[in-house]
Amino acid sequence: MQLLQSFRLSSLSAVAPFALCVAVICLNATSVFANHLVLLEGNCPTAGDVRPTNVTPNTCGDYDGDGRIGTAEDTDGDQVFGTLTAALGSDGINQNGNVTFVTSGVFNQSISISSLNVNVTVQAAPGVEAVIDAVRRDNRRNADRQGSGSGINIAPGLGDSFSNVVIRNLTVRNWANGASISGNVRVTIENCRFENNLNYGINVRGRAQVMIAKTEVHSTGYRQPLVRTDTGETLVPSPGTGISFERGTSGSVFLTTVSNSFAVGIENNNIGSPGAVCASLVNVFNNNTNFENVRPTSEPCGGGIKRPRDFFDR
Binding residues (CB under 5 A) for Ca ion: these are 62, 64, 66, 68, 73
**Separation between Cα atoms, residue 283 and residue 7, nearest integer Å:** 31
Amino acid present at 36: H
Q: Which one, 73 or 195, has the nearer CB to Ca ion?
A: 73
Residue 257 C-beta: closest distance to Ca ion, Å? 36
Angle at the Cα of 148 from the Cα atoms of 143 and 153, rounded to 5 degrees: 130
Q: Which one, 62 or 74, has the nearer CB to Ca ion?
A: 62
Q: Which one, 34 or 72, has the nearer CB to Ca ion?
A: 72
* β-sheet with 171-173: strand ranges across: 105-107, 130-133, 171-173, 193-195, 216-218, 257-259, 283-285
Residue 111 C-beta: closest distance to Ca ion, Å? 20
Residue 55 C-beta: closest distance to Ca ion, Å? 8
Residue 8 C-beta: closest distance to Ca ion, Å? 13
Residue 86 C-beta: closest distance to Ca ion, Å? 13
Q: How far is CA 217 from CA 107, 172, 192, 266, in A?
A: 19, 10, 8, 10
Question: Per residue in 30-41, is it b (16+ CB within 10 Å) or e — as a string?
Answer: eeebeebbbbbb
Q: Which one, 62 or 195, has the nearer CB to Ca ion?
A: 62
Residue 60 C-beta: closest distance to Ca ion, Å? 9
Instruction: Name the residue number minimizing CB distance to Ca ion.
Output: 62
Q: Which one, 92 or 240, has the nearer CB to Ca ion?
A: 92
**Separation between Cα atoms, residue 21 and residue 197, nearest integer Å:** 40
Q: Which one, 58 or 231, has the nearer CB to Ca ion?
A: 58
